[in-house]
Structure 1
Amino acid sequence: MMMKKTLLATALISMFAAQGAYASDETAELRKIIEQQQKVLQDLERRLDETEKRVEKTADVVEESASESKSATTIGGYGELHYNNITNNKTGKDKKEFDFHRFVLFVGHEFNDSTRFFSELEVEHSISGEGQNGEVELEQAYIEHDFNDMFTGKAGLFLMPVGIINETHEPPAFYGVERNPVEKNILPATWWEAGLNLNIQAAPGLAFDGAVTSGLYVDESYSIRGGRQKVSKAKAEDLAYTARIKYTAVPGLELAATAQYQSDLTQGRAGVETASATLLTAHAIYTIKGFTVKALYAQWDIDGQEAETLGRDDQNGYYIEPSYRFNESFGVFARYNEYDNNAGNSDDTKVEQTNVGINYWLHENVVFKADYEKVGGAKDADGFNLGVGYQF
């Protein structure tokens, strides 16, 4: 009996010892597993930290890229090729020629939402240089800044705020192969100066412009078009002051009027009498469905005895142009022009010109044009013009 008890005790001790050893092994194993899981968690935490840092860095890059995307440089331009077949019934000097009249490149840059640069470089008549017909001209180069929603300023070389075609003259934007003679000879488009301009958006559809710029520099002929200096070492003895009001609050309607004053058109030129000058011009554009009518009047009053003697103290003109656009591709127009650069004398120097024709838009930015032209009054000519133009 004693022997059995001894054997039983020995067996129980062995069993508990085995279980203790097993438990000890199991605890060690669990500790090892826990340590491994802790390492995994620490690694995951480290990776999450790195991922978060990368996400933050990516967000910074995206934000920076978005900011930089507002600072964009753009390139554009326009051009037009003309064929003129005009018979001069007075002089016999007919005009029958092809001419790549204009090749223009725009370069603009937006520094941010409120400040931008714009420029326009033009080659006229294909080739420039001594003995050539063409010119290379810088027509625009200015900085524009929005002070707020109401005030925008320009500083540099810019188109004058006058007339219809002076600021908007890309070929797909107007009818007729050649630009109208009234704005060409009276205003005179295309007309640019250097200086400052402030645009005021006084109310929805109501805007004012005020500019202080270089002015015209005429010789003894008092030719307005010939007085453009094109900001090439331009004389600045007497600046020009320009103001415009523009109304577009009614859909389809545009009304505008401009006044300019220059105290001396001759800029102190030797041998030419001082002559102050005032320009007044107004225009209206009304569009309803496919029908549009444009009308413009312009007049120079020059105060000077020599200008009066030549009949150049009064130079004026007007035109009216109805047109109808059938669809995106076809449109027809008629335009009556009348102008006189010697309206101050009693001679019959008035020129009358009528154009009728068609525009065909191959694309909204590509146009083919054809028109018939009849010139009367002080001149006598007739013929036709063909042209192709583009903008991008």
Structure 2
Amino acid sequence: MKRTLLATALLGLFAGQQAIAAEDTAQLRKVIAEQQQVLEKLEKRLEQTENRIEKTADALEASGSSAKNATTIGGYGELHYNNITDNIKGTDKKEFDFHRFVLFFGHEFTSNTRFFSELEVEHSLAGEGKKGEVELEQAYIEHDFNRSFTGKAGLFLMPVGIINETHEPPTFYGVERNPVEANIIPATWWEGGAALNIKAMPGLAFDVAVTSGLAVATTGDKAFNIRSGRQKVSEAKGEDLAYTGRVKYTAVPGLELAASAQYQSDLTQGAAGVDTAAATLLTAHAIYSLQDFTIKALYAQWNIDGKEAQALGHDKQQGYYIEPSYRFNESVGIFARYNAWDNKAGGSADTEITQTNVGVNYWLHENVVFKADYEQTGGAKDADGFNLGVGYQF
């Protein structure tokens, strides 16, 4: 009887263990199945992530490729209203003029090689009997040989003065560009040739250029007039090239110092019957900004050989200006500028012209500006009045 009971108990225990084992196995299988589902979902997510990464990489590669072959368009323009009274002649100038409409076209062939151009319409209308002109002010190829050397060839702005290379309306004060750089340097001034920019060290750079030169008249009202001597690379006479150099220092925050020199062996380009007029241009400028206050100063001088130039007093031409300004915020800034220049400084007569400007700039946007200034001209001229303007760049 005892043996029967023992056997029965053992059988029950074994059956219970079997039931427990079966239950554990079922739970284990269930856990394994759940883990397999988790792994499958994880693998699916990994595949989706990999696909997204591949698509992103393809997009980046495509955008990088397009960036290296990007064509860009930009430009600037300005409308002026001048209300100036000539107190000597007794005449008034009250005139609206869309002075400049400019389009930029650029193309980046590679990260090291690019093209840039600037096409301008002056005074709205161009053609026979019209007051305006269509001008190609820049068209050059630029190439980075390495981090220190960049070269360009074609038609480009000369590396002289403050506004010659940067003259978009939102970048300077006053409706009209300052008369010193216009009449002495003479901005805007471009030539055809080749140039090299050398970054010697952070904040120190040199520019050298060999280009076409000026071709001044030797008789008449425009005799040895520097501004009128610009050939604008339009079938320009090339008997005498021009050699230009500049050093620029910007290592100190807020400070820019620069000096330029140009030499041309004959400003007349070999004109018959006149003395050779070798000419040297020297310029220097400083710009210093301290928070919202900025001061600019520039000096420029031409020295011209030749008896014809000396006889007219044009063998020395010089000018300077100083311009303090204060910008209250992103929208409003005020300035004052004193200008003095003389295109006949080599003569005995007092031919220096002075001009004082005071005014305000209002930036509707960082690239859109409204301007107003009052000007008073003295010395060899006597005039006064005001100017209004609106300008943009993009």
Q: Same fold (TM over 0.5)?
A: yes
Letter in 1 for 2:351: T
* Structure 1 residues 1-392: aligned runs within 5 Å: 63-220=61-218, 221-392=223-394
Q: Deviations over 1:310-355 (max 9, x none)?
A: 0000000000000000000000000000000000001010000000
The equivalent residue for 2:44 is none
Larger Cα-atom Rg: 1
Whole-angstrom CA distance in 1 between matches of 2:237 and 2:333: 44
Give the unaligned 5+ runs of structure 1: 1-51
SS in 2 for 1:306: helix
Amino acid at match of 1:329: S
The alpha-carbon deviation at position 56 of structure 1 amounts to 8.2
Distance 2:94 2:55 in 1: 66
Q: Give the Å deviation of 1:257.
A: 0.1
One-letter code aligned to 2:136? L
Any idea what SS the aligned residue of 1:94 has? strand
CA distance in 2, matches of 1:169, 1:267: 29
Following the alignment from structure 1 to structure 2, what is the Cα–Cα distance between the partners of residues 295 and 313?
A: 24
Distance (whole Å) between structure 2 residues aligned to residue 111 and residue 78 of structure 1: 24
Bigger mean CA deviation after superposition, 92-101 or 115-124:
92-101
Deviation at 1:269, TM superposition (A): 1.6
- TM-score for both structures, normalised by structure 2: 0.84
Report the Cα offset of residue 253 of structure 1. 0.2
1:66 positional shift: 2.6
Looking at structure 1, the residues matched to 91 and 55 of structure 2 have their Cα atoms a distance apart, in angstroms, of 73
Counterpart CA distance in 1 for 2:108 and 2:268 is 38
SS in 2 for 1:184: helix
Q: Look up the match of 1:32.
A: none
Please report how far the alpha carbon of residue 64 of structure 1 lies from its aligned counterpart in structure 2 after TM superposition: 4.8
Give the Å deviation of 1:131.
0.6
Q: 1:273-302 deviations in whole A, cap 9, x for unaligned?
A: 210000000000000010000000000000
Q: CA RMSD in A?
A: 1.7
Task: Give yes or no for contact 1:219–1:272 (8 Å, CA) kept in 2.
Answer: no
One-letter amino acid of the structure 2 residue matched with residue 282 of structure 1: A
Instruction: Could you list the structure 1 runs, at least 4 aligned residues long, displaced by more than 2 angstroms after superposition.
Output: 55-66, 270-273
Q: What SS is found at the alignment partner of 2:364?
A: strand
Tell me the number of residue pairs that the alignment of Structure 1 and Structure 2 aligns: 341
Deviation at 1:211, TM superposition (A): 0.2
Deviation of residue 272 (structure 1)? 3.0
* Counterpart-to-counterpart distance in 2, 1:267 and 1:323: 41
Distance in 2 between residues matched to 1:321 and 1:104, nearest whole Å: 26
Q: 1:93 Cα deviation (Å)?
A: 2.9
What's the % identity of the aligned pairs?
A: 79
After superposing the two structures, state which structure 1 stretch, 68-77 or 180-189, moved more: 68-77
